[in-house]
């Protein structure tokens, strides 16, 4: 017997699948790694804090994998994915697997220490030498972040970890029919960065292919009959070089192991224009994201060989809505007449919360419209069953699904006639401030009376353990509303007093009442619901619980005016009103799929507009509307950028243009390169924009200089992600660099981002240095 009381190699945990059968199977591309109750997250954080041993960590994560397989099998999968689990990130796993470990980490002996050092830097393993972690960036257009592999000229790869084989064997031992999932060699190289030397990552393909060949042989030897290789890079703008790399790699990989079939997997966009070339390559199957690109199916059916298997990504893997089963079944049955098929989600379910069942807090009317991973797998099973056994076998389920979708389509909960009417009447005048910036600027100067190089912060002050504890106590009913509020008032008052003392020019209330910049507004707006446990991984152990936008959005009542007014009454200096912008609220939520995203965004913008106007009426001279997610909403293909940027910019303008000329609108953006969208940033027409620049030593600013960006800018002068306290000198040097590309009268002085993750003993000296640097600069010029 195996470790969990299951006969090794037994097939009794498989549903319908038999090797070599022509059954249409339900399968998956990947699953959450976190565990139903975020066991992985908790274990990782305890491990990093030295509270549990390596063995304990591995025991928890082994259990999480087993539970994930069991849940998927019970929900109806015939073949479960394996090697989709990761202790941090699957791209990092791939880097380690092929031996792409940058030299600086080589001196770390322990495999796991080295792995986490690559993910988080070496500070985290108690080492004095400070090894910088790999860079982190967004996985395509999702909110998942991967670690960027580093490549060196002439780099040689070798198979350095057997994780895919080990996890395959683990699943097999437990009795699961499993299919290993790999990041493909071309996507892996494309996602990396070349360090030094004149070469591109794809130049290294020749050395990488043998590693994959060896791995595939080992997987075959271990008993795998299929392997899923992900090449989502094809959903981006693909040049000829990339297509040639695909051809080179797969003509070799497909030929090594005739017994091991490759499911070539793409998602997040159309690959229609590549299908003909792909179909000539020796893989056995092709996965298509038919949620994002339904049109690809017809092309594939016309093009592929008869022995090919098409994996139909019919269930949305990255949103929370129930599938239209009747439609999916029609598509699947039609396709099955022309090809062998499998039923799958559009992409990995890594991007979906796990289970809807425990979500008792969601309005039942809305809840029935939703499907999390487990429910999505049940849908896959129904679709597969229809293909295998005919509609009648699951007609009741399809009827039930139809009834629910009808209720959703006709629900008054999604539809607010006032919102629709208002959104339909938005005129051009609502998208423009009363006057141009050069007219507004002197009016604002007169009203606010700020010095040159005004100093400010981005909004939040430290969310200390105490603040979080009080919030938890309030949420659990231990603390009354009044007690909690008087506590928040004390913190706010303290923050205002301290900002005055240190000499900041424009103050903030500190955002102590907010847990999260999107959730806070979602909870106050109509059209949103919240799950209790709908977590999805953002990076490493960090998870987010996006709000779900199900209906027309509007404001119930003013959302932030009371706090802003309270803070303003404490001081003579201007206090900024603080809002999250429409694009960011949209981007960091699960968005309804029954109307265009642009329309949902416009509705949010209208609600924010009302708030901005109310803040102004309440006496706020400055209102900041944060849009850190503006850039990450960009579509994967450049041809789709202009349409997105148009509606995104218009949403910001709609939100911000309801105020008088003398009211100053700020915006804030972080984690972002600005060069390629600088004209859109200018079109926002915010009076002041604060941006993250310190980590790039103000290099990011060059775009603003070259573009002759007209409005005011606060280039971040220190990195808030690090506990390091900057010196006045450093900040002055950065500001002088900024002065090389910007006009004196254009520059604001502020940190890179909000300070909520920092401690007060870090924030105080850092901001004191910042204020001193601004004063020194004023004197010297
Ligand atoms: N105002 C927010 C804060 O200071 C902005 C956060 C962000 O840009 N991500 O926390
Ligand atoms: Zn920020």
505-558 tens-digit pLDDT: 999 999 999 999 999 999 999 999 999 999 999 999 999 999 999 999 999 999
Contact 92, 146 (CB under 8 A): yes
DSSP state letters, 78-143: SBEEES---SS-HHHHHHHHTT---GGGTT--SHHHHHHHHHH-GGGGT-SS-PPPPPEEE-TTSS
Kindly indicate the confidence band of residue 289, based on its pLDDT and cuts at 50, 70 and 90: very high
- The answer to whether the CB of 459 is under 6 A from ligand 1 is yes
Would you say 235 and 270 are in contact if contact means Cβ atoms under 8 Å apart?
Answer: yes
DSSP sequence for 638-693: GGGHHHHHHHHHHHHHHHHTTS-TTSEEEEEE-S---GGGHHHHHHH--SEEEE--
pLDDT category of residue 699 using cuts at 50, 70 and 90: confident
Single pTM value for the model: 0.94
* CA-CA-CA-CA torsion sign (135, 139, 145, 149): negative
- Element counts in the chain: helices (H) and strands (E): 27, 21
Contact 492, 510 (CB under 8 A): yes
State which of 511, 668, 714 you would mutate to test the pocket of ligand 1, scoring each by most atoms of that ligand within 8 A of its C-beta.
668
Burial state string for 309-326 with b = 16 or more CB within 10 A and e = fewer than 16:
bbbbbbbbbbbbbbbbbe
User: Is the CB of 627 inside a 6 Å radius of any atom of ligand 1?
Assistant: no
Q: Are 281 and 251 in contact (CB under 8 A)?
A: yes
Q: Is 668 in the pocket of ligand 1 (CB under 6 A)?
A: yes
Q: Which of 430, 377, 672, 423 is nearest to 553 (CA)?
A: 423
Question: Residue 728 class from Cβ within 10 Å (0-12 exposed, 13-18 middle, 19+ buried)?
Answer: middle
* 125 φ/ψ angles, rounded to the nearest 5 degrees: -105, 25
C-alpha dist (Å) from residue 360 to 355, 368, 371, 531: 12, 11, 14, 9
101-136 residue pLDDT tens: 999 999 999 999 999 999 998 865 555 567 888 988
pLDDT band at 16 (very low <50, low <70, confident <90, very high): very low
Stretch 497-507: mean pLDDT: 98
Q: Is the CB of 614 under 6 A from ligand 1?
A: no
Percent of the chain with pLDDT over 90: 90
Distance (Å, whole) CA 68 – CA 523:
31
The number of beta carbons lying within 10 Å of the beta carbon of residue 555 is: 18
Q: Which positions ≥6 away from 138 have C-beta within 8 Å?
A: 144, 145, 146, 632
Q: What tokens does 578 get? A: 């603080």
Nearest one of 610, 587, 608, 611 to 597, comparing CA atoms? 587
CA of 17 to the centre of ligand 2 (A): 49
CB 397 within 8 Å of CB 381: no
Is residue 518 lining ligand 1, measured as CB closer than 6 Å?
no
Q: What atom in ligand 1 is closest to the CA of residue 578?
A: 1
Q: How far is the CA of 467 from the centre of ligand 1 (A)?
A: 17
What is residue 18's predicted lDDT score, i.e. its pLDDT? Answer: 47
Cα separation, 315 vs 376, whole angstroms:
7
Ligand nearest 670 Cα, by number? Answer: 2
Residue 703 CA, ligand 1 centroid: distance in Å: 23
Output DSSP code: residue 225.
Answer: S
Q: Which ligand is nearest to the CA of 763?
A: 1
118 lines ligand 1 (CB under 6 A): no
**Ligand 1 pocket test, candidate residues 508, 511, 575, most atoms within 8 A of CB:** 511
768 Cα–ligand 1 center, Å = 20
Buried b (16+ CB within 10 A) or exposed e, 689-721: bbbbbbeeebebbbbbeeeebebbbbbbbbbbe
Query: How many angstroms does the Cα of residue 752 sit away from the middle of ligand 1?
Result: 10
State yes or no: pLDDT of 2 exceeds 50.
no
> Is there an atom of ligand 1 within 6 Å of 581 CB?
no
First to last CA, the chain: 79
pLDDT, position 143: 93
Q: 51: burial class by Cβ within 10 Å (0-12, 13-18, 19+)?
A: exposed
| pLDDT tens digits, 391-422 | 999 999 999 999 999 999 999 999 999 999 99
Residue whose token pair is 């900040």: 731
User: How confident is the model at residue 257, as a pLDDT?
Assistant: 83
Question: How is the chain split among helix, strand and coil, in percent rounded to 5?
Answer: 45, 15, 40
Return d(Cα 758, Cα 37) in angstroms, integer.
27
Residue 725 is classified by DSSP as: P
Read off the tokens for 728: 């006045």
Closest Cα to atom 5, ligand 1: which residue?
Answer: 754
**Residue 125 CA: distances (Å) to CA of 44, 112, 121, 122:** 13, 10, 8, 5
Pairing, β 536-539 against β 542-544 = antiparallel
Predicted confidence band of residue 14 (pLDDT cuts 50, 70, 90) = very low
Backbone angles phi, psi at 454, to 5 degrees: -60, 145
Mutate to test the pocket of ligand 1, among 667, 753, 758, 763 (most ligand atoms within 8 A of CB): 753
Distance from residue 139's CA to the centre of ligand 2 (Å): 19
* Eight-class DSSP state of 456: -
Nearest C-alpha neighbor of 383 from the set 310, 315, 321, 288: 315
Ligand 2 center–CA 578 separation, angstroms: 13
Helix (H) or strand (E) holding 542: strand 542-544
Cα distance between residue 504 and residue 704, in whole Å: 25
Give residue for tokens 């004390």.
Answer: 490
| Atom of ligand 1 lying closest to residue 669 CA | 8
User: What does the pLDDT read at residue 129?
Assistant: 66
509 labelled catalytic: no
What is the H or E stretch that residue 227 is in?
strand 226-230
DSSP string, 384-412: HHHHHH-GGGGHHHHHHHHHHHHHHHH-T
**Nearest ligand (C-alpha, residue 756):** 1
Whether the CB of 753 sits within 6 Å of ligand 1: yes
How confident is the model at residue 11, as a pLDDT? 42
Alpha carbon 175 to its chain centroid, in Å, reads 34
Q: Which of 146, 150, 69 is nearest to 102 (CA)?
A: 150
Residue 37 Cα, ligand 2 centroid: separation in angstroms? 29
Can you name the residues that pair with 349 across neighbouring β-strands? none
Confidence band of 702 (pLDDT split at 50, 70, 90) = confident
Tally of CB atoms within 10 A around 734: 22
756 lines ligand 1 (CB under 6 A): yes
Which ligand 1 atom sits nearest the alpha carbon of residue 514?
10
The CB of 72 under 6 Å from ligand 1? The reply is no
Say whether pLDDT at 1 is over 50: no
Q: What is the 3-state secondary structure (H, E, C) of 143-182?
A: CCEEECCEEECCCCCCCCCCHHHHHHHHHHHCCCCEEEEE
Q: What angle do CA 116, 118, 124 make, to 5 degrees?
A: 50
pLDDT at 364 over 70: yes
628 Cβ closer than 6 Å to some ligand 1 atom? yes
Which ipTM did the prediction report?
0.99
| Three-state DSSP state, 434 | coil
Which residue's CA is the nearest one to ligand 1's atom 9? 628
Give the tokens for residue 693: 């620049």
pLDDT tens digits along 228-254 = 999 999 999 999 999 999 999 999 999
Which of 143, 457, 459, 630 has most ligand 1 atoms within 8 Å of its beta carbon, as the pocket-test mutant? Answer: 459
Query: Looking at the CA of 755, which ligand is closest?
Result: 1
Contact criterion met (CB below 8 Å) for 166 and 176: no
Residue scoring higher pLDDT (552 or 8): 552
CA 363 / ligand 1 centre spacing (Å): 30
Q: Is the pLDDT of residue 9 over 80?
A: no
Q: Is 505 in the pocket of ligand 1 (CB under 6 A)?
A: no
Q: For Cα atoms 130, 132, 137, give the angle at the middle one, nearest 5 degrees.
A: 155
* CA 589/CA 521 separation, integer angstroms: 11
């Amino acid at each position: 017997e195996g470790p969990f009381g299951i006969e090794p190699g037994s097939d009794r945990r498989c549903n319908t699948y038999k090797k070599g059968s022509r059954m249409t199977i339900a399968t998956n591309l990947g699953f959450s790694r976190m565990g139903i109750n975020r066991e992985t997250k908790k274990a990782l954080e305890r491990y990093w804090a030295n509270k549990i041993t390596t063995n304990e960590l591995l025991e928890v994560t082994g259990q999480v994998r087993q539970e994930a397989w069991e849940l998927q099998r019970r929900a109806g999968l015939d073949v479960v994915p394996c090697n989709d689990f990761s202790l941090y990130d699957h791209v990092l796993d791939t880097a380690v697997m092929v031996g792409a470990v940058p030299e600086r980490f080589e001196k770390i002996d322990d495999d796991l220490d080295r792995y986490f050092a690559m993910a988080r830097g070496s500070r985290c393993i108690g080492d004095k030498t400070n090894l910088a972690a790999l860079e982190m960036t967004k996985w395509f257009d999702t909110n998942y972040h991967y670690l960027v592999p580093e490549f060196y000229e002439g780099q040689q790869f070798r198979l350095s970890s057997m994780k895919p084989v080990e996890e395959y064997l683990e699943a097999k031992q437990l009795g699961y029919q499993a299919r290993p999932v790999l990041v493909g060699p071309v996507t892996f190289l494309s996602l990396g960065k070349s360090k030094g030397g004149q070469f591109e990552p794809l130049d290294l393909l020749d050395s990488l292919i043998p590693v994959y060949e060896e791995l595939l042989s080992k997987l075959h030897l271990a008993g795998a009959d299929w392997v899923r290789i992900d090449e989502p890079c094809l959903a981006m703008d693909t040049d000829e070089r990339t297509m040639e790399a695909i051809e080179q790699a797969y003509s070799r990989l497909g030929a090594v192991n005739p017994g091991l079939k490759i499911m070539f997997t793409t998602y997040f966009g159309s690959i229609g224009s590549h299908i003909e070339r792909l179909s000539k390559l020796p893989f056995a199957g092709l996965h298509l994201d038919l949620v994002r690109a339904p049109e690809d199916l017809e092309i594939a059916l016309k093009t592929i060989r008869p022995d090919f298997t098409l994996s139909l990504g019919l269930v949305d893997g990255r949103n929370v809505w129930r599938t239209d089963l009747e439609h999916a079944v029609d598509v699947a049955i039609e396709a099955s007449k022309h090809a062998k098929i499998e039923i799958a989600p559009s992409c990995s379910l890594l991007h979906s919360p796990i289970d809807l069942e425990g979500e008792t807090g969601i309005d039942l009317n809305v809840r029935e419209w939703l499907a999390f991973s487990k429910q999505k797998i049940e849908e896959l099973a129904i679709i597969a069953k229809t293909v295998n056994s005919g509609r009648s076998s699951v007609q009741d389920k399809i009827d039930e699904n139809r009834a629910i979708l009808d209720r959703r389509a006709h629900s008054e909960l999604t539809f607010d006639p006032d919102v629709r009417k208002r959104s339909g009447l938005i005129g051009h005048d609502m998208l423009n401030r009363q006057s141009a910036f050069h007219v507004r600027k002197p009016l604002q100067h007169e009203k606010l009376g700020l010095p040159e190089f005004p100093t400010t912060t981005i909004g939040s002050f430290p969310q200390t353990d105490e603040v979080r504890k009080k919030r938890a106590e309030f949420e659990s009913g231990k603390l009354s509303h009044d007690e909690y509020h008087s506590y928040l008032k004390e913190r706010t008052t303290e923050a205002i007093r301290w900002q005055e003392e240190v000499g900041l020019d424009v103050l903030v209330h500190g955002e102590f009442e907010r847990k999260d910049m999107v959730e806070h507004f979602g909870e106050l707006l109509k059209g949103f619901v919240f799950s209790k446990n709908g977590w999805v991984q953002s990076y490493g152990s960090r998870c987010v619980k996006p709000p779900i936008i199900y209906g027309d959005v509007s404001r119930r009542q003013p959302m932030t005016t009371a706090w802003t007014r309270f803070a303003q009454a404490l001081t003579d200096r201007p206090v900024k009103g603080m809002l999250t912008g429409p694009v960011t609220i949209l981007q960091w939520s699960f968005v309804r799929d029954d109307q265009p995203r642009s329309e949902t965004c416009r509705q949010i913008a209208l609600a924010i507009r009302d708030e901005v106007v109310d803040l102004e009426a309440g006496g706020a001279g400055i209102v900041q509307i944060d849009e850190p997610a503006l850039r990450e909403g960009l579509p994967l293909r450049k041809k789709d950028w202009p349409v997105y940027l148009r509606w995104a910019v218009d949403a910001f303008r709609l939100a911000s243009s309801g105020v008088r000329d003398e009211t100053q609108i700020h915006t804030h953006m972080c984690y972002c390169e600005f060069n390629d969208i600088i004209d859109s940033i200018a079109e926002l027409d915010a009076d002041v924009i604060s941006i993250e620049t310190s980590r790039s030593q103000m290099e990011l600013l060059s775009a603003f200089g070259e573009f002759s960006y007209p409005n005011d800018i606060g280039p971040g002068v220190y990195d808030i992600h690090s506990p390091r306290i900057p010196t006045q000198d450093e900040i002055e040097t950065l500001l002088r660099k900024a002065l090389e590309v910007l006009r004196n009268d254009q520059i604001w002085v502020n940190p890179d981002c909000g300070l909520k993750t920092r401690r007060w003993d870090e924030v105080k000296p850092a901001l004191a240095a910042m204020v001193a640097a601004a004063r020194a600069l004023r004197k010297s010029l």
